[in-house]
Amino acid sequence: MKIKMCGLRRFLDIEYANICMPDYVGFIFADSKRKVEVDTAKILIEKLNKNIQSVGVFVNEPLDTLKNIIEKTDIDIIQLHGDETKEYIEEVRSFTKKEIWKAFRVEEKRQIEEANQYNVHKYLFDSFSKEAYGGTGKRLNLELFNGVKLEKPFFLAGGFTVEQINEELKKTKSYGVDISSGIETDGWKDLNKMKQVMEQIRRIS
């Protein structure tokens, strides 16, 4: 199982990531307490170990702005975490060959099944919240994934802690897990928690 650690925004966070070596790290460009400025993200990505893939998280970003950020930062993967349509995704595919992930906020099973309609490389399923598009720490209901057939690999996100990365998570047959608040203390990335998550991932993979 792969691990994505999201919401990195300090040089110290990059140092922690280079120690722990997750598969992916996420940089949030949308409005969020974890938002990172484009110029800062460019420098952080340059300092990131080349074996870790960088993921840019966007929410309903104007296409011109999205293109500019992709070109300026040379982010590896584009994660669309808003209400982006299938048509929007085709526009993105027209100007980049980079991998595209589409995130879906899940309340019921049909929202998971509808992901198959999107022409992307991977899906990401997050817990639903009316207040925000992600990063709320609200727990995702894993029972909704029972019996669902998905055409692409998928990540699970939504309030995971070290303790919740276990065999129950593995039963969903997810490609990976996305964790942010679960590796933080007082709102900042915590090296010890990041190490614990990596140990848990290795244990169940």
- pLDDT recorded at residue 47: 98
pTM above 0.85, yes or no: yes
Tell me yes or no: is domain 2-204 CATH 3.20.20.70.
yes
Question: pLDDT digits over 39-74, tens only?
Answer: 999 999 999 999 999 999 999 999 999 999 999 999
Question: pLDDT digits over 128-170, tens only?
Answer: 655 544 445 567 888 899 888 999 999 999 888 888 888 788 8
Average confidence (pLDDT) over 102-108:
91
- Domain segments of the chain as ranges: 2-204
Residues contacting residue 56 through CB under 8 Å, at least 6 positions apart: 26, 27, 29, 41, 69, 70, 73, 75, 77, 78, 79
